[in-house]
Amino acid sequence: MSEMKQYQKEIEAIMQDTTLTYWQRTDALAKYAENLLDYPEGTPEEFYILDESREISDLHEGHGPKCPRYILPDYKKFLKEGSAFLRLDPPKNLFEAVNSLLIFYHNAHSIDRFPVFLGRLDDLLEEYVIKEDYEKAKDILRWFLISIDRTMSDSFVQANIGPQESVTGNILLELMPELQNITPNMSLRYDPNVTPDEFAKKALNSALKCANPAFALDSFYKETVGENYGIASCYNGLLIGGGAYTLTRLRLGTISEHCENSRDFFENRLPLCIDTQLKFMDAKVRNVVENRAFFSSDWMVKEGFVHADRFVGLFGLVGLCECVNNLMKKDGKTGRMGHDAEADQLGVKILETIETAVMNHYCPYSYKHHFVMHSQVGADNDEGNSAGTRIAYGDEPELYAHLKNCGLYHRFFPSGVGDIFPFDETAFRNLDALLDIFKGGFKVGVKYMSTYLGSGDLIRVTGYLMKKSEVEKLKQGEAVANDSAALVVDKTPARHMTEKKVRTFNA
């Protein structure tokens, strides 16, 4: 009975939380119920120990997820064929196309109530846009974006444009700075051999004004993921028509705190954590495939918008910077990642070790039968662990050294990695130079990068977008529509998420 009383007390706390909207409260209650289940059969005992010590994190997926974490429906097929479940015929014009997509989005889902992928919008809508008057098309797309922002209140909802220039892409790049929306997160699939410089500069101008879009190196994702890929959520490169079963993370900074030195780390602690995470991911994937109704009954699967053989498990990590710095110090050395060649190479060795283990691990249900590495942006309880492979905010070296450091690590992460480079107002007068910086970054190994105006309200926090003003409202106890604002409150001081180095162009 005392246990039931505790459940009731915790449920009442959710019901009375004034910082939650109705839908946020409903989600919290559903997650609470789900977590009354045990973790999936096959979860290794070591996981519970490493979870308690904060060395491994399941990233709030819950004990028994009802579906894969990230789902990327094939919207191209939908617009071409329509949907029996949604009772929709193929659209005949732009008005019908955007409304058909909005209906699909409302009925789609991933691990939460929102879709994490809205499609390659220019590829989906261009044939309809070019048949309309430009201003009419722009007005329809304006309300399309407004509807997305007001109904999908989560910064991990992602859309793509590019690499080619298009009428649709140009309209979206004009609308995003005007609207200042948090959702959708947007990525430009960038190819310097395909994407015109003027179009890329227009994208950078938009990014400075509203933190959208980020730039994804198209050739890298085509090679490592597949020709038919999408960038979902923060910056997750995944197959369209598939997605990711799960994303579980090593907290490398915390793992290093449990080691005597680098030898102990490589010989004992890291192998234990890798093996435990792999086995835990196996259990979660098997549970979603074999014990949940999604793949046997969901309408997206039945109508061929999603295929089981296009999903993969994401082996995530955070805290490489703190891990490197801790191990260097424990080995009696003073070098820091981003500032010392030996420290940087230690980071490479850590990632090579993880990559070898991940690539050698067989998973029958995962695309290509193995998991892929993901540089994860971070979550609560990540104190002592910077996002992914990023240099700790506030300790960044000068720009060109920083780009080269990123280039050492991005190649390990076909399923997602990214770095953020805020600039001040001088960037608006130097868009050619800013584009050269992005091109240079891609040449030295960067695969995904983004920018925003350091003094602006709309910023990229780790991989998602947020308004500083909404975070302040939430801190004052006001409810805000966007779920992701809660990820920043009370975490900012500890993780320095708003203290990224802001770059300038000297006059």
Q: Using one digit for the tens of pLDDT, what is the confidence trace for 16-70?
A: 988 888 888 888 888 898 888 899 999 999 999 999 999 999 988 889 888 999 9
A 10 A CB-CB count for 136 gives 12
Q: Is 177 exposed, middle or buried (0-12, 13-18, 19+ CB in 10 A)?
A: middle
Report the distance separating Cα 351 and Cα 336, nearest Å: 17
Token pair for 78: 């939908």
Strand 214-217 and strand 448-450: pairing? antiparallel
Chain Cα centroid distance, residue 408: 20
User: What are the residue ranges in the chain where pLDDT is below 50?
Assistant: 491-495
Q: List Cβ neighbours of 15 (8 Å cut-off, separation of 6 or more).
A: 25, 29
Report the distance separating Cα 108 and Cα 118, nearest Å: 10
Angle between helices 431-443 and 399-409 (to 10 degrees): 40
125 in helix, strand or coil? helix
- Residue 456 DSSP label: S
Determine the pLDDT at residue 507. Answer: 55
| CA atoms within a 13 Å half-sphere pointing along the CA-CB vector of 185 | 32
Determine the pLDDT at residue 482. Answer: 59
The torsion angle over the Cα atoms of residues 314, 69, 300 and 128, rounded to 10 degrees, is: -80
Residue in the block written with tokens 């709309």? 458
Report the distance separating Cα 308 and Cα 450, nearest Å: 32
Query: Contact 74/57 with Cβ under 8 angstroms?
Result: no
- The amino acid present at 100, given as its one-letter code, is S
Determine the pLDDT at residue 495. Answer: 46
Helix (H) or strand (E) holding 123: helix 121-129
Determine the pLDDT at residue 116. Answer: 95
Determine the pLDDT at residue 341. Answer: 97
| CA atoms within a 13 Å half-sphere pointing along the CA-CB vector of 330 | 17
Residue in the block written with tokens 């490398």? 252
Q: pLDDT tens, 424-465? A: 999 999 999 999 999 999 999 999 999 999 888 888 877 777
Angle at CA 9, nearest 5°, toward 26 and 58? 60
Domain locations along the chain:
1-36, 43-65+245-417, 67-235+419-507
Q: List Cβ neighbours of 44 (8 Å cut-off, separation of 6 or more).
A: 276, 279, 280, 283
Angle between helices 94-107 and 121-129 (to 10 degrees): 150
A 10 A CB-CB count for 17 gives 12
Report the distance separating Cα 61 and Cα 59, nearest Å: 6
Report the distance separating Cα 236 and Cα 417, nearest Å: 8
Angle at CA 484, nearest 5°, toward 43 and 66? 35
Token pair for 342: 């030996």
The torsion angle over the Cα atoms of residues 68, 69, 70 and 75, rounded to 10 degrees, is: 40
Determine the pLDDT at residue 487. Answer: 57
Token pair for 128: 């309809």
